[in-house]
Chain A
Amino acid sequence: MAQAKPVNKMLTANRLRNGETLYYTAAGAWSQYVAEAKVATTAEDAEALAKIGAAAYAANLVIDVAVIDVTPGAEVRPAHIREVIRATGPTVRTDLNKPVTPPQR
């Protein structure tokens, strides 16, 4: 039997009210910090994320919902440069960039 292809996915969207980039977390919330994203490592979990995204879209909480690839590793990092920029901000205005994790309180 052929082995299943490895899966590394996370759920992202933009908040309807203010457009900010969001990630769905393991705690079942939406976070603006990519490091808090829940990573699905099975096809079933990725499918579950897609359903959560569709429900949040239908509930008018978020828009532009997508399940995107994650680079495997210790840190949660989007695979594509588009999503890296989306997660942290424009590379040409680093003064406006947001951290990948919440600031320490």
Chain B
Amino acid sequence: MYIYDKFDHAITNERVAEFSQQVTRRLKGELSEDQFRPLRLMNGLYLQLHAYMLRVAIPYGTLSSVQLRKLADIARKYDRDYGHFTTRQNIQYNWIKLDQVPELLAELASVEMHANQTSGNCIRNVTADQFAGVAGDEVEDPRIISEVIRQWSTFHPEFSFLPRKFKFAVTGAAKDRAAIQFHDIGIQVVKNDAGEVGYAIYVGGGMGRTPVVAPLIKPFVARSELLSYLEACLRVYNMHGRRDNIYKARIKILVRELGPAEYARQVEEMWPLTRAAGVDIDPAEEARIRAFFAPPAYETIAEPVASFVDAKAKNRAFARWVQTNVHVHKAPGYGAVTISLKPIGGIPGDASTVQMHAIADLSDKYSLGEVRVTHVQNLVLPNVKQADLFAVWQRLGEIGFAEANVGLVTDIIACPGLDYCSLANARSIPVAQQLSTRFADLDRQHNIGPLQIKISGCINACGHHHAGHIGILGVDKAGQEFYQITLGGAGDETASIGTLLGPGFAGDDIVGAVDKVVNTYLELRQAPSETFIEAYRRVGATPFKESLYGRR
């Protein structure tokens, strides 16, 4: 993985020193809250319901075991012994004290981490496929270009005050595990007819109040010209994005109002200028960054691995966990383990200090010291030998993270919701917990098959409800929590926005309503192999509406 050079260290440490001074001045009253608020947001510090919240960036979801241990220690020292992994592959701490933030940021910087640009109207943390570098289906490791974008966008003076926040996602494979079409810019690594590696560029996707699936703006940009093209994309947005109305300020509105073709034309017109400005990365620098993502020296292992096959045969629970939680690895004899942070009845994405330490230890012992964060709020050990999977599974069981449910109905995304968030209208986590408990039976989960439930506590959609096969949106109805159901969303390469089924359900009724939706699917599917989303796309919303609201 990428290791900071002297410039990375210098700018990170300088930012810590600068923000520390700003905190001191704020505490002395030399800065007002109006003056300080934009400064703290640029450093990832929010005020939520109970305390300050700090959002720490985890670039493209890649962590070393050393970094994860530091995150665990920070949870213990500065928070209440836990952290929350988010849909942007970041971690949030919920109980932060302002006067301790400078010390905390210095500790983060000591392991090459920070909270820069995790808020504010700037380019946010770049997200990527959690199986980057280990998935057999990828054209190229998406972290290479993600790191290039991270460096280009860090403290970029032209893009520090955009009309609104700006999010990138990168996938290295045709199979989209990063929801790229729900981002301001989504990038897919592709090969052209000549076999050259380049990038397909999708612009103007997003969730929130106005969900949009990003259109393809440019099918192929050469590797050597990516940054000048992206700079042209951003510059057109920065000039013409709607600063007059916060609800219309995202690039998705600009692209929609101009039309994708006209937006693309304006980018093409701008591109020669950014190209001439020398923005594109020097090949030697690109090679330097690329080298950090060279594959590790995998052992040559012949498959099948007898001990692994034997363990699966003897232990059904282990075999089931392998089925759902172990992804095929490009190196024979290895697997990529998804650690479900969704124990039955648990809080999606939360991990305690003890759990984070245990995962860091597992990573050192079995996964070459690397951990990934997924946008589905799980963690990944990317490089585990198949012969070690049983031991990993046993240890995960000891810390409560061996649930065999990845991709199933209890692998639920939930934003912090009204339990923590000052923007939320309704609680998300209790709904996730109740659904998880309702569908706890593993036989039933496997019978239902792949099904993604995503829950947001407000229209800002941090819980990705628009992209859920079943999406749940919490709303405030005369002071009461109500929940609307959308169906048919998808965040993969077949991206689609869920359709609202009808009036919302009270908190006591939402779990039963989702159960009805699932049972309706089970009744109408043509075969167990027809997944929920496939069945929905075949039959549409009507049978589900009728099961929830009756015939009208």
Q: Which residues of A contact B (CB under 8 A)?
A: 14, 16-21, 57, 59-60, 63-64, 79-82, 85-86, 89-93, 96
Does B433 lie at the interface of the complex (its beta carbon under 8 Å from any beta carbon of A)?
Answer: yes
**Is B47 touching A18 in the complex (CB atoms < 8 A)?**
no
Bound Cα distance A90, B80 (Å) = 13
Does B512 lie at the interface of the complex (its beta carbon under 8 Å from any beta carbon of A)?
Answer: no
**Is A81 touching B418 in the complex (CB atoms < 8 A)?**
yes
**Is A17 touching B97 in the complex (CB atoms < 8 A)?**
yes
A19-B47, A20-B51, A57-B33 known; A85 vs B97 contact (CB < 8 Å) = no
New A-B pairs, 19, CB < 8 Å, besides A16-B98, A60-B27, A92-B427: A14-B51, A16-B33, A17-B27, A18-B52, A18-B97, A18-B98, A19-B52, A20-B51, A21-B49, A60-B26, A60-B33, A81-B480, A82-B424, A85-B49, A89-B50, A90-B429, A92-B430, A92-B433, A93-B419
Nearest residue in B to A97 (C-beta to C-beta)?
Answer: B50
Does B479 lie at the interface of the complex (its beta carbon under 8 Å from any beta carbon of A)?
Answer: yes
Does B212 lie at the interface of the complex (its beta carbon under 8 Å from any beta carbon of A)?
Answer: no
- Residues 417-472 of B at the A interface (beta carbon under 8 Å): 418-420, 422, 424, 427, 429-430, 433
Q: B419's contact among A16, A18, A79, A91, by CB below 8 Å, is which?
A: A91
Nearest residue in B to A14 (C-beta to C-beta)?
Answer: B47
Bound Cα distance A81, B425 (Å) = 9
Does B99 lie at the interface of the complex (its beta carbon under 8 Å from any beta carbon of A)?
Answer: yes
Q: Provide the residues of chain A in CB contact with B511, threshold 8 Å.
A: none
- Residues 24-41 of B at the A interface (beta carbon under 8 Å): 26-27, 29, 32-33
Does B347 lie at the interface of the complex (its beta carbon under 8 Å from any beta carbon of A)?
Answer: yes
Q: A79's contact among B27, B429, B479, by CB below 8 Å, is which?
A: B479
Does B96 lie at the interface of the complex (its beta carbon under 8 Å from any beta carbon of A)?
Answer: yes
A18-B98, A19-B50, A19-B52 known; A85 vs B419 contact (CB < 8 Å) = yes
Q: Provide the residues of chain B in CB contact with A16, threshold 8 Å.
A: 26-27, 33, 98
A19-B52, A92-B430, A96-B80 known; A64 vs B419 contact (CB < 8 Å) = no
Bound Cα distance A27, B346 (Å) = 41
Does B481 lie at the interface of the complex (its beta carbon under 8 Å from any beta carbon of A)?
Answer: yes
Per DSSP, chain A at the interface is: loop
Nearest residue in B to A90 (C-beta to C-beta)?
Answer: B419
**Is A82 touching B418 in the complex (CB atoms < 8 A)?**
yes
**Is A19 touching B97 in the complex (CB atoms < 8 A)?**
yes
Nearest residue in A to B49 (C-beta to C-beta)?
Answer: A86
**Is B433 touching A63 in the complex (CB atoms < 8 A)?**
no
Bound Cα distance A18, B101 (Å) = 10
6 A–B contacts from the bound complex (CB under 8 Å):
A16-B33, A17-B99, A18-B52, A81-B418, A85-B427, A89-B50
**Is A92 touching B49 in the complex (CB atoms < 8 A)?**
no
**Is A91 touching B427 in the complex (CB atoms < 8 A)?**
yes
**Is A21 touching B347 in the complex (CB atoms < 8 A)?**
no
Bound Cα distance A102, B422 (Å) = 25
**Is B418 touching A21 in the complex (CB atoms < 8 A)?**
no
Bound Cα distance A100, B99 (Å) = 25
Bound Cα distance A63, B52 (Å) = 11
**Is A90 touching B420 in the complex (CB atoms < 8 A)?**
yes
B21 CB to closest chain A CB (Å) equals 16
Bound Cα distance A16, B27 (Å) = 8
Bound Cα distance A82, B425 (Å) = 8
**Is A20 touching B419 in the complex (CB atoms < 8 A)?**
no
Bound Cα distance A63, B26 (Å) = 12
B428 CB to closest chain A CB (Å) equals 10
Q: Provide the residues of chain A in CB contact with B32, threshold 8 Å.
A: 60
**Is B51 touching A19 in the complex (CB atoms < 8 A)?**
yes
**Is B98 touching A60 in the complex (CB atoms < 8 A)?**
no
Q: A19's contact among B80, B98, B479, B481, by CB below 8 Å, is which?
A: B98
**Is A63 touching B47 in the complex (CB atoms < 8 A)?**
yes
Q: Provide the residues of chain A in CB contact with B27, threshold 8 Å.
A: 16-17, 60
B96 CB to closest chain A CB (Å) equals 7
**Is B97 touching A90 in the complex (CB atoms < 8 A)?**
no
B79 CB to closest chain A CB (Å) equals 11
**Is A82 touching B430 in the complex (CB atoms < 8 A)?**
no
A19-B52, A82-B418 known; A64 vs B47 contact (CB < 8 Å) = yes
Bound Cα distance A92, B418 (Å) = 10
Nearest residue in B to A95 (C-beta to C-beta)?
Answer: B80
**Is B479 touching A80 in the complex (CB atoms < 8 A)?**
yes
Q: Provide the residues of chain A in CB contact with B424, threshold 8 Å.
A: 82
**Is A19 touching B96 in the complex (CB atoms < 8 A)?**
yes
- Of all A-B residue pairs in the complex, the 7 with the closest CB atoms, nearest first, are A19-B51, A90-B419, A18-B97, A19-B52, A60-B29, A86-B49, A92-B429
Q: A92's contact among B47, B347, B480, by CB below 8 Å, is which?
A: B347
**Is A81 touching B49 in the complex (CB atoms < 8 A)?**
no
Bound Cα distance A64, B50 (Å) = 11
Nearest residue in B to A83 (C-beta to C-beta)?
Answer: B49
**Is B50 touching A18 in the complex (CB atoms < 8 A)?**
no
Q: Provide the residues of chain A in CB contact with B480, threshold 8 Å.
A: 81
Nearest residue in A to B416 (C-beta to C-beta)?
Answer: A90
A103 CB to closest chain B CB (Å) equals 18
Bound Cα distance A63, B427 (Å) = 24
Q: Provide the residues of chain A in CB contact with B49, threshold 8 Å.
A: 21, 82, 85-86
**Is A17 touching B98 in the complex (CB atoms < 8 A)?**
yes
Bound Cα distance A42, B505 (Å) = 37
Nearest residue in B to A62 (C-beta to C-beta)?
Answer: B33
Bound Cα distance A93, B95 (Å) = 13
Bound Cα distance A23, B97 (Å) = 18
**Is A81 touching B481 in the complex (CB atoms < 8 A)?**
yes
Nearest residue in A to B427 (C-beta to C-beta)?
Answer: A91
Q: Provide the residues of chain A in CB contact with B80, threshold 8 Å.
A: 96
Bound Cα distance A16, B480 (Å) = 30
Counting chain A CB atoms within 10 Å of each CB, which of B98, B347, B430, B480 scores highest? B98
**Is B479 touching A81 in the complex (CB atoms < 8 A)?**
yes
Q: Provide the residues of chain B in CB contact with A57, threshold 8 Å.
A: 33
Q: Provide the residues of chain B in CB contact with A92, threshold 8 Å.
A: 347, 419, 427, 429-430, 433
**Residue-by-residue, is B326-354 near A (CB-CB < 8 Å gives 1, otherwise 0)?**
00000000000000000000010000000
**Is B33 touching A85 in the complex (CB atoms < 8 A)?**
no
B377 CB to closest chain A CB (Å) equals 15
